[in-house]
Every structure is written in structure tokens, then in C-alpha cells.
Structure 1
Amino acid sequence: MKGLYCKLSEAGEVKFIIQETSVPTTIGNHQVKVQVKGCALSPVDIKLCEDLKLQREHIPVGREIAGVVLQVGPKVTFFQPDDEVVGILPLDAEMSGLCDVVLIDEYNLVQKPEKVSWFEAAGAIKDALRAYTALHTLARMAVGHTLLVLDGASPFGLLAIQLAHYHGVKVLATAVSLEDQKFLEQLRPSVGVLESLVARVIGVWDSKVDLVDSCLEETGGLGVDIVIDTGVRLYEEESEVKKHLPYKHDIISLLGVGGHWVTTEDNLQLDPPDSRNLFLKAASVSFLNEEVWEASRARQGRYLHIMKDVVEKLATGTFRPLVENPVPLYEATVSMEMVQRRQLRKRVVVKL
């Protein structure tokens, strides 16, 4: 049986290889043996693995899986053979999600509705988990809030927009290209009143457009209640890759009183003037790390509740993820290299 693994060279370069692996013959009390039908590819966070002392010679790749239960452990109560399931392999998993068969703890899986495809389920589960973590857990969104989603046409940004609109939040979103802007302007819900999901699309690809002015204009000068970024520019002299990212000062400037800034920037540095501005607004900064759900057993029930809610919203059409056409296993290595370099705009799912 083959799986996809990440290997670090001595020079620190990331290389992806498909290699043979085997399933343990014994199944744990609370483990489930799943035949994988679809596995989504997400970038491997090498630094996070190092911080958590999970660095190995070969890091398993592909953690978001959907498949059919083949066998359950003696103390498993949630599932039985032939159930269709979706879930996320833990960070310390020994097996790649691209193996034909994987062993996974029952507390990392939920039932997959019949009408949801394998590829939609696997492709949406992690981005939707991030959206829930950002909006519900960290930002405490409520009806009437105004949300700014940076790079709204990304897989994560799209699900954040759909979740916020469902809960009665006014959504603003940035577009990093003209194509993304047209896509966001045409977004409509699959059910209910066919109003636009995004109240205003801000085309940051156009140098004439000012992000702060656009947000303040849309909110009557009050500022937005919640901002979710995809990274920020910390200094004037940054790489060309970050040219569409806002400066941290801009984000703080467009936040309203009591606002929440949810950031994906793990090395964010706030200067004293930035902190002073946040203090004057009684605003807060939260760091988005969806892997934290596995850090405490006390959070396990809420984690499962979120995943159940995600698949229900997939079944009703509230969530419509950005998923590429499924790719075969022999193309997984090339696809993963592109995913790691963040060259693809849609979520890639491997068909097994």
C-alpha cells in the first residue's frame, strides 16, 4: 500500500515522495479502519511540526479524508462497518491519508451525509473548521456585525463568507485579481433570497483602491467588527509575494471599537503605537490555529460538534467549497508540490 510523505533534505528543501507503507494488524479499542475514497491536500506546516516535536524523517501528507468504515475497535460506539465518514487525521498520525486504508480514532471522525460527495467532504472539512474557529470561537460573531475577509476567493475565504452570511453578518471581501473580483460579485446563496453574499468586493489588485477608505466608507466611518487576514505585511520592504497583503497598521485603522482581528500571521509583531491604537479602540488580536482543537481533551466535544455542523451545511448547500477536479494518486506528488508553494487557488483532492 502506498502513501504520500514529506521529506526534508539536508539543505532544508521540502520533497514529496510516494512510498510503501503498511497498516497495523491490531486495531485499538477506539480506532476505526477506514477505506479512503478521497483525500484533500493542504500545505505541510514544517515549523509547527518542529515546535511540537513531531519532526520525523518522513512526515505523512494528506490529513483530510473521506471514506467507508471497514472495521471498528471493540469499544467504538459512534460507527459501524459500511458507514460513510469524513474526518481529519491528527498531527501525530503515522499514516498518510493517501493510503488505501487508514486507522483513525473514532473521535476524529463524523458521519458523512449520503448526498455529499467524497471530494466535497474531504475538500471542505479543514477550511470550514478554520472558518468556525475564526468566526465563532475567536471573534464571537453575531447578527449585525460587519466582517472583512481578506482574499475572499480563496478556499478558506469563501467558506468564511458563506458561514458569516448564513449567520446574518454583513460581509466585505478583498479580491487579489480581476477574475476573483468578478467571482465574488457573482456569489449567491444556493437557497433562500438570492442576494449577493458579499456586500462589497474591494479590488486590492487595483493600486487606485484604498482598503481602509473603502471599509470606512462602507461602515459610515465606524470601522468593521471582525477582520480575518491571510497574512500581513510587517514592513515596507517585503517580497513581491506579499504585495497584495495589507499592512498591519491598515488593519488596525479599519477596525471598529471593540473589534476583533483574527490573524494567520504566526510571527506578528506589534509596535507600541499599534498596541496603543488597539487599546484606544478596546480591540483584540487573536491568532488562528485550527490545530489547537487536538491540544485539549476538554475541547473534543466542541470539535466534533463543529465537524458535524460542517457536513450538515454541505448537505444543505450552505457550504459550496472551491474544489479542483479530483486527481489520481499518480499525480499527487506534483499536485502536492504546487499546493506547498501555494500556486493553486482551489483545494486539491486526490481520488483513491
Structure 2
Amino acid sequence: MKGLYCQQNDGSDQVKFVIQERNVPSCLNSHQVKVQVKACALSPVDTKLLEDLKLSRDLVPIGREISGVVLQVGPKVTFFRPDDEVVGILPLDADLSGLCDVVLIHEHHLVPKPEKVGWVEAAGAIRDGVQSYTALHSLGRVAAGHTLLVLDGASPFGMMTIQVAHYHGVKVLATALSLQDQQLLEQLRPSVGEHTGEGKARIIGVWDGKVDLVEACMEETGGLGVDLIIDNGVRLYEEDPTGRNMVPHKHDLISVLGVGGHWVTTEHNLQLDPPDSHSLFLRGASLSFLNEDVWVASGSNQGKYLHILRDVVDKLSTGTLRLQMEKPVPFYEAAVSMEMVQARQVRKRLVVQL
């Protein structure tokens, strides 16, 4: 059975994506479910994380966010029956690519797919939904009336976070990296510029050289600072050699935090200098690292994880959450599409329709 796999070149960070044939085991374990895949979303492969978890191998399966139909269940499976429609995320140590026609997955990594939610939409939204819930609730402990700053609000993760936050009555500030991003955020419903609680939120167009992030946030919060920051990368140095000049500097983010505020970062290499730590201390503020894969790396909170998965698809069903994605691509374009995703050349979510 054909699937897409990642092959890492020896001694380099470069990877290539290849189509490989793999056999699907004929016998199911006690709690395994055999799923016929209908759609699979493409997300960048974190080779460093796999290496840290001792999960590196010659061929890493590509495509973990899937939706499909249950074909067969193991003898001890209680959640599903054949012909059920499901959506879920394959674990980090999965042997089969999510782009295979059929995959085997433990029942505790799946939830029922509502009838109103399409295959492509379900697969495309599930990862960003889990990431947003993890950042806002598990780490940020956000509550109604809080003020949230979302960096790169027009990214798939950013837009999902904005929608989840609005649902819970949070005031949202969001940065836009380009004029196109700003226009996209202005069209988002409920709009970033609309808030039923305390006044109107604001889109901060950092693409405009005249706009200062710290001044804009302080103006919006009356000089008190924001309660929660969720970034999509952060600049560690004043002069960034990678050209990420529109990515905020770590000092700016600390400067906009209010007393008792919380910063959730996706920057796994974040380093804080003593003055930065002292500034956090003076604010009584805290910092968390966002790793959405922690749910599948440990089974200690499996119940919470399943609750998050179910809540995401339920809100997709009611229209509370909407997905920004590219047009679905066929399987024969998966390798080329994955190269673009890995190189961060695609702004919207890419989903392969099988």
C-alpha cells in the first residue's frame, strides 16, 4: 500500500519526501481500529522532536491528521463500530503514513466525525484546534474578560486561536504580517475587530513600519498590558540573520505582558537573558512552551485529549470554528505539496483528498 514518507539526508537537516509501498498488518491488536482514510492534512515534520524522543528512523511516515471510515475493530474496542465516521491524529510512533488507503490506530486517538463536517475540513482543522486549546486552556488558563495577543493571527493556528478565544469571551489583539493578512483577519467572522465584551479588539499591522507593537498593545489595554500572549515564533536577536524582522523580539513580548500575565511560546530554542527573567519576575508573569504533541507522547491525560478532539469537531459542526485552507490536492501531488509545507511556503492548511 502506497504512502508518503520522509527521508533525512545523512549529516544534514535537509529532508526529501518519497512514495513507498508498505504492508498493512492483517491482524488487529485488542484496541486497534482499521480506518479507510478519506482525507489527510499535511504538517511540517519536526525531525528534532523525533530525535529527542528516540523515534528517528530511515523513513518517517508523513500525514498524521486523518479522517475516514472504520472498516474493522479489535476485539476489545468499545468506542467504535464498522462504518463509523471518525477523525483523529496518528501517534508519533505510527508505522504507516496517513496517506495510505488504510491505517491502523488505537481507538483512544480517534473521535466520531459529525455528519455536518466534511472529510477535508475535519482533517485540516484537528491539529490547529488541538494546538489552540492547549495554548489557551491547558497552558494559558484563559477566562472571559482577559486580553489576548495572538502573533501572526492570519496563520492557520492563529485564526483558529482567535475563533476559540472569541467563543469564550476573550478580547483579542492580533498581528498581521502583510496587508493581505490584515484584510483576511478583517473578514474573519466573528471579526477580530468585533467583541461583545469590553469594547473592540484591534488588528496590529506590523507590516507597516510606522506601527509599534508595544505602543499599540499598551494603547489598547490602557497601559496595563495583556493577560496572555501566544506567539508563532519569536526573534531572539535584534538583528536576525534569517530575515524574520517582522517576528517580534522576545523583549517586546515581555514588555506588553501585564501583571500576572502569561506567555505561551512555540519557540523551542527560546533563551532568556537575566534582564528578561528579572522583568518577568517584576510582573509576576510566567512562561510556557507549547508542544501539542505532548498529548500523544504521554497517555496520562488521555481523557482530556479526547475531550479536546471532540470539542474541536463539535464546534466545526456548529460553525463556531471555520478553517482557512488551500484547495484539496490529489495523492499524486502529495510529495511536492509536502516540500512546500516543510519549507513554510504555504500560509493556509493543505489537505490531501484520497
Question: How far does the alpha carbon of each residue in 1:121-158 deviate from its partner, in whole angstroms, 9 at most, with x for none?
Answer: 00000010000000000010000000000000000000
User: Which deviates more, 176-185 or 107-116?
Assistant: 176-185
Aligned to 1:10: 10
* Structure 1 residue ranges, 4+ long, deviating more than 2 angstroms after superposition: 194-198, 294-298
Give the aligned partner of residue 280 of structure 1.
282
Q: CA deviation at 1:240?
A: 4.2
Contact 2:150/2:158 (8 A) holds in 1: yes
2:222 partner letter:
G
Range with bigger deviation, 233-242 or 269-278: 233-242
Corresponding residue for 2:20?
19
- Alignment deviations for residues 233-288 of structure 1 (CA, whole Å, 9 cap, x no partner): 11122134411110100000000000000000101110110000100000000000
Count of paired positions = 349
1:37 and 1:68 in contact (8 A); partners too: yes
Give 1:348's aligned residue: 350
Separation of aligned partners in 2, 1:269 and 1:122: 34
Distance 2:4 2:314 in 1: 30
Correspondence for 2:341: 339
Question: TM (normalized to structure 1)?
Answer: 0.97
Q: Secondary structure at the match of 1:172?
A: strand
| Amino acid in structure 2 at the alignment position of 1:102 | V
Question: 2: distance between equivalents of 1:296 and 1:9?
Answer: 29
The separation in 2 between residues aligned to 1:304 and 1:271, in whole angstroms, is 38
Cα shift at 1:298:
2.2
Give the corresponding residue for 2:31. Answer: 30
RMSD between aligned alpha carbons?
Answer: 1.3
Alignment of 1:1-352 (within 5 A): 1-12=1-12, 13-189=14-190, 195=194, 199-352=201-354
After TM superposition, give the deviation of residue 214 of structure 1 in Å: 0.1
1: CA distance, partners of 2:195 / 2:37 = 36
Q: Distance in 2 between matches of 1:287 and 1:298?
A: 19
Partner amino acid, structure 2, of 1:310: V
**1:48: Cα distance to partner?**
0.2
- The answer to whether the 8 Å contact 1:186/1:196 transfers is no
CA contact (8 A) 2:73 2:82 kept: yes
Where does the alignment leave 5 or more consecutive residues of structure 1 unmatched?
A: none
Q: Return the TM-score normalized by structure 2.
A: 0.97
CA separation in 2, counterparts of 1:244 and 1:186?
Answer: 22
What is the alpha-carbon distance in structure 2 between the residues aligned to residue 187 and residue 295 of structure 1? 33
Which runs of 5 or more residues in structure 2 are unaligned?
Answer: none
